[in-house]
Amino acid sequence: MVFICIDVRNALFVPPSVGILGQVGDEWIRPYTPGTGRWLVIGWEAVALGLLGWSTVEQFGLAGPGIRILATVITAVWVVGGSRIREMGVYVGPAGLRVRGLMRSRTMRWEEIAHVRLHRHSHKIGGWEIQGGMTVLIERRDGTMVNTELWAQGIDFHSRPQVFRAVYRELRERHLAAVSPA
């Protein structure tokens, strides 16, 4: 069996809406480079899943095909999870904003967004309040808030606070430019 992959952006006589590559498109870009912490998380997950596999084999006495099936499942979980971790973040395009999380993605048109704002996050434990740092929130026109993956002390910006501020400004400026009357 032969598989042919056609990049519809470069193919003659093929409409751009044909095939999977026509649907992916280049309009969504992440306005920052991911931090090196992502690779540490992916590596940590590989070690954790390896320990899970080893303990499962030892606990249940798996042998032969059981080990191969377990290794295949754990590898598939790691590949899918690692690719989602690598793609997490906020993406911008001409039509709006996309927030890619670990489990789901949300896409909003610029017109649906009321404000892009900074929020000082804190956790309350008993009588103690622990500061979590600054995060970017998207307020929609219907009043709901959308959390983003942008956190000043997160894996992308922990040692790069100037990049966090620049990304926040970029999101605000793109939103204001998109919704302001021309």
Beta strand ranges found along 20-127 (DSSP E): 89-92, 96-100, 105-109, 113-125
Count CB atoms within 10 A of the CB of residue 157: 23
How confident is the model at residue 84, as a pLDDT? 95
Report residue 57 as tokens: 């084999």
In a domain, 136, yes or no: yes
Q: What is the CATH number of the domain that holds 99?
A: 2.30.29
What is the C-alpha separation between 132 and 45, in angstroms, rounded? 23
112 and 175 inside one domain: yes
pLDDT tens digits for range 13-26: 444 444 443 444 56
The domain containing residue 48 runs over which residues?
A: 37-87
Q: Report which DSSP code applies to 144.
A: -
Residue 112's nearest CA partner among 132, 91, 98, 126 is 98
Phi–psi pair at 158, nearest 5 degrees: -55, -45
Residues 112 and 99 grouped into a single domain: yes
pLDDT tens string 6-62: 444 444 444 444 444 344 456 899 999 999 899 999 999 999 999 999 999 999 999
Residue written as token pair 């992502």: 38
The residue among 7 and 173 whose pLDDT is bigger is 173
Provide the pLDDT for residue 7: 41
At 163 the pLDDT is 95
